Structure 1
């Protein structure tokens, strides 16, 4: 199995990457040369041709040449993996256009699983994954996105999720590593995005806010709140929301550090109703949510113990909590695959390890933009 040390050794300081060794280390790369791209945006050809060009351009950029070993690792593997999910996402439309909708988000998940299994340190892995997830945004951020968010909002929010310096470098390499008619225009927009980030003071650090509540209120509202002045915070529950794969230590954390607070748990609700994982899951969810609402109405503090594995799953819980003006801390826990599956096999659970494998396709680590505080507790 490919290890972090293997990947680190294949990170070039300069010169030509060892493409053959990289394709042996990361088998998914072998599918890229059979994946077409739309010639309007990629006249250079297939995804592998584009990927190699992007990596080569990345090695020429000042942010790469002048970066330390960690930055070079992050930027190189972000460039190498930025289109890793194009094979399953690529569709030829009836009019002949080739599209790959959703490849950035799915690519981030694929990169996360690949690097988790290789033992890449958590902080480095997540820097790569967040770059893959956001790699297209600087192409159009200066003009705003489809949801109507303006450039300032996008830069401010992204700065809490990813290094904007590294994101701009990846976007520049992505655009230089292709043949298209609008290349110069998009490169200009990427440079404008850099300048906006500098003006906002968030090219190399998250954009400052008056306080945590103002920040989360701003992100949830999509802007429209002055970031430099405290936004009124109504009283509500203080909630610790746990997140992580099954058997990652959430129950242990609750026992050791939960302080005896009430716990909302889908697993406990299933056990109380005599249900296994899967069938009639809705009944357990309703029971847990009803109990959470009672605690929220009384403004009592509590812990919500669930996997909360994807952004969509967390949003359902967070929307409920914020509707009651809760102050939310997310604690994310993680272990390696071998440890998680060994723990899961030992515990009294109706969830098989094969189900954990299926859950990996939805695995998105919480971002700092989701809650008042987000704490990461990886095993390495």
Structure 2
């Protein structure tokens, strides 16, 4: 059965169905780049422009639904990021990144969406401006390669084209030219409509760990211990996963450390203590080259990157496992845990959730129960 955000795509119906669409009416845009009007006017024009693109018409029906949903959501968080600058101009810095988090939250909690489809939409929202700005990045090649691993670059270019056409501005021709350059760069790096292929998983991992790395370099695989780094919301089933796959391995469990030290999950000051105690246990395993499991939520890239840096310092092989269950099941399983996390706290974590990227480990596994 094909997934769709909504079967009725009439604008009036979209306003009635989604509060976040209604919010677009109240968000102004800078007249220099968006003379057409507010975010609602622009978004409507983008969805209409998308339907007219020949590349869109040639897509399979499911991919059409994915790109259309991304077009509707692409500026969803201009509502929270739009400000008037001292010079009178209107900006919305950070709306793409925040919009991606909101898109994930909507498609997980409000409109249940299969994981693979949801994450395509989320990344399209996250990177919808990248085809225009990629050429200005300090490391253009890395930018292009990273993008290809996160999202289909052909679909992204389609969305960016619709975004450029769905506005009134004097630089529209330049925007479209930049999108053509983006396609040429993707072709040059062999990642147009497909992820960049690395010769080994370690090569991919190392490329994103080393700022001056080459995608063609193949490092020698010399590892000490193997670290299984679990990621997932409270109630996702991380403990069950350990029992099913790694029951004989040592486990560093942050919830268990909290209980042992009588530190509540909501105690922000105590969380630092819990992490430091856990890292000391990890260092002991790493020094002795013992395999172990790190069992914690690890829902943000910043959290994971700090741990990965620690693990690879000891030449560990890092296997990142992201675990997810449907939203309604998540809360049921959370209530059955020994240490129940309040529902409001779980929902706050969902709003911050960043699913691991393919390079956040020598191996990245997505254990999803849709």
Tell me if the contact between 2:249 and 2:291 (Cα under 8 Å) persists in the aligned partners: yes
- Contact 2:3–2:62 (CA under 8 A) maintained in structure 1: no
Retained in 1: the 8 A contact 2:252–2:282? yes
Q: Which residue is 1:7 aligned to?
A: 5
Deviation of 1:325 (Å): 2.5
Mapping 1:198-209, distance limit 5 Å:
198-209=187-198
CA shift, 1:123, in A, is 0.8
Aligned to 1:373: 363
1:279-298 aligned at under 5 Å gives the runs 279=267, 280-298=270-288
Q: How does 1:1-380 map to 2 (within 5 A)?
A: 7-10=5-8, 17-117=9-109, 118-143=111-136, 145=137, 148-149=138-139, 151-222=140-211, 224-279=212-267, 280-380=270-370
**Offset, 1:8:** 4.6
**How many residues end up aligned between the 2 structures?**
366
Cα distance, 1:356 vs. partner?
0.5
For normalisation by structure 1, the TM-score amounts to 0.92
Shift of 1:140: 1.4
Which has the higher mean CA deviation after the structures are superposed, 243-252 or 339-348?
A: 339-348
- 1:357 Cα shift? 1.3
User: Unaligned stretches of 5+ in structure 2?
Assistant: none
Residue by residue over 1:10-67, the C-alpha shift from the partner in whole angstroms, topping out at 9 and shown as x without a partner, is 3xxxxxx411222223211101011011222212111111101111111112231011
Name the CA distance, whole Å, in 1 between partners of 2:223 and 2:283: 15
1:121-161 residue CA offsets vs partner (Å, 9 max, x unmatched): 11111100011011111111123x2xx22x22111111111
The separation in 2 between residues aligned to 1:258 and 1:23, in whole angstroms, is 48
- Structure 1 residue runs of 5 or longer lacking an equivalent are 11-16
C-alpha distance in structure 2 between counterparts of 1:250 and 1:66, whole Å? 41
- Going from structure 1 to structure 2, the CA distance change for 1:204 and 1:152 (only over 3 Å counts) comes to same
Q: Secondary structure at the match of 2:150?
A: coil
Q: Report how far residue 167 of structure 1 moved.
A: 0.9
- How far residue 360 of structure 1 moved from its aligned partner, in angstroms, is 1.8
CA distance in 1, matches of 2:326, 2:245: 22
Cα deviation digits, residues 98-134 of structure 1 (max 9, x gap) = 1111111111111111111211111111100011011
Contact 1:161 1:369 in 2 (8 A): no
Q: How far off is 1:95 after superposition?
A: 2.0
The Cα shift of 1:294 comes to 1.5
Q: Deviations over 1:195-239 (max 9, x none)?
A: 2212222112211112111111111223x3332241234433211
Report SS of the residue matched to 1:242: strand
- TM-score with structure 2 setting the length: 0.94
Task: Please list the CA deviations of residues 288-325 of structure 1 after superposition, one character each: whole Å capped at 9, or x if unmatched.
Answer: 01111111222221111111111222222222222322
Offset from partner CA, 1:262-301 (integer Å, 9 cap, x none): 1122111111112221332222111101111111222221
